[in-house]
């Protein structure tokens, strides 16, 4: 994880040097953390995606990118049910079960997603020199994810207790998507992407993701977007 963060900082710091091949965008991502024991939990986050084309031709480019996402999941946790049991001294102990009548309590939990992706890009915005209206990309890499999961336990009465926690996860990731250029002067592009991360550990969640980003246009000599 440390190497991924350092690479992201180096790419941002070197923006003036890499401006001809450096591309970035901002938008929103919906992630679903899925485990067999805790079900599927959606999260929503803000994404800042950076990529650098290590190789370019007239029709395609190979890029290394880091789409960073931070957000959260859930709500206030209101409506949580209570249960009780007798302790060794005969006292009644009340506790929250982590459940409501309609399922687990939706408590707020944070989410962070940091993938390192190598993509093959074709058509629109594969590079700044490609003037196609529509483009596609696909690739893969490795990702670190921190997000919400529900862990179910049995209480002392034999009932079900749901513990809403956040958990680290990591593993190989793949993505595929398309880009639609905005205007003949390349005033940016809209990118739609789907992704999947497979956890390397059985008890960690697999991650599904859908992102919608605005890819920023090329910057001119004075920092102004070309074409605007």
Kindly state the helix (H) or strand (E) to which residue 12 belongs, with its residue range. Answer: helix 2-13
Each domain of the chain, given as residue ranges in start order, spans 2-74+109-215
Range 77-80, long-range pairs (CB < 8 A, 24+ positions): 77/105, 77/106, 77/107, 77/108, 77/164, 79/105, 80/105
Q: Alpha-carbon distance 150 to 40, whole Å?
A: 9
Instruction: Read off the pLDDT band of 221 (50, 70, 90).
Output: very low
pLDDT of residue 41: 85
Sign of the torsion angle spanned by Cα atoms 129, 135, 141, 142 = positive
Q: What's the predicted TM-score (pTM) here?
A: 0.73
Name beta bridge partners: 113.
69, 145
pLDDT digits (tens, 9 = 90+) for 41-50: 889 999 999 9
pLDDT digits (tens, 9 = 90+) for 52-102: 999 998 889 999 999 999 999 876 555 555 556 666 677 776 555 555 555
* pLDDT surpasses 90 at 25: yes
pLDDT of residue 8: 52
Cα 67–chain centre separation: 8
Which CATH architecture fits 2-74+109-215? Beta Barrel (2.40)
119-142 average pLDDT score: 93
Q: Alpha-carbon distance 12 to 21, whole Å?
A: 13
Q: Alpha-carbon distance 175 to 86, whole Å?
A: 52
């Amino acid at each position: 994880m440390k190497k991924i963060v350092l690479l992201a900082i180096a790419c941002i710091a070197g923006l003036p040097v890499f401006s001809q091949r450096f591309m970035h965008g901002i938008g929103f991502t919906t992630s679903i953390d899925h485990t067999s024991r805790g079900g599927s939990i959606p999260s929503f986050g803000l994404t800042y995606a950076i990529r650098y084309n290590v190789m370019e031709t007239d029709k395609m480019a190979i890029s290394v990118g880091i789409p960073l996402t931070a957000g959260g999941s859930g709500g206030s946790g209101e409506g949580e049910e209570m249960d009780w049991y007798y302790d060794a001294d005969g006292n009644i102990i009340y506790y929250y079960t982590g459940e409501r009548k309609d399922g687990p309590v939706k408590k707020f939990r944070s989410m962070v997603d940091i993938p390192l992706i190598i993509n093959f890009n074709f058509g629109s915005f594969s590079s700044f020199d490609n003037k196609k209206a529509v483009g596609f990309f696909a690739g893969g890499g490795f990702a670190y994810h921190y997000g919400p999961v529900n862990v179910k336990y049995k209480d002392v009465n034999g009932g079900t207790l749901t513990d809403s926690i956040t958990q680290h996860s990591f593993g190989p990731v793949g993505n595929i998507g398309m880009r639609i250029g905005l205007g003949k002067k390349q005033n940016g592009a809209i990118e739609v992407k789907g992704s999947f991360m497979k956890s390397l550990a059985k008890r960690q969640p697999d991650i599904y993701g859908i992102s919608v980003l605005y890819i920023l246009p090329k910057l001119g000599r004075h920092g102004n977007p070309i074409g605007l």
